[in-house]
Amino acid sequence: MTVNQLLCKERKKQHLSVRKLAEIIQIKYDYFVSKSTLNYIEQPGKGIDAKLLFILIDYYQLDIVKIQNIFLAEKNKKSSHKE
């Protein structure tokens, strides 16, 4: 599972539309994020802004070590494909 897939899964698990999540982030964290950005980061292999990632980790109450391990696994997978 990638971080992108995990974020999408968490949003759907909480029955949130992208629009509703954008509104929640704006209200709770005073941070504007567009619906298109939220859609973009849920696609496999797409990058995510660090601040937005930390906001989503906090909002979904995710384990930051789990996120770190997913990132490292993705990096190692990409590195092994280059060799």
Which CB contacts under 8 angstroms, 24+ apart, belong to 30-35?
31/55
pTM: 0.86
Strand boundaries in the chain, DSSP class E: none
Written as one letter, the residue type at 43 is Q
Given its phi and psi angles, is residue 45 left (phi above 0), alpha (psi -120 to 50 degrees) or beta?
left
pLDDT digits (tens, 9 = 90+) for 55-74: 999 999 999 999 999 989 98
**Phi, psi torsion values for 33, nearest 5 degrees:** -140, 135
Which one is the CATH code of 3-82: 2.40.10, 1.10.260, 1.10.3470, 2.70.98?
1.10.260
Q: Where are the domains positioned within the chain? A: 3-82
pLDDT digits (tens, 9 = 90+) for 7-60: 999 999 999 999 999 999 999 999 999 999 999 999 988 999 999 999 999 999
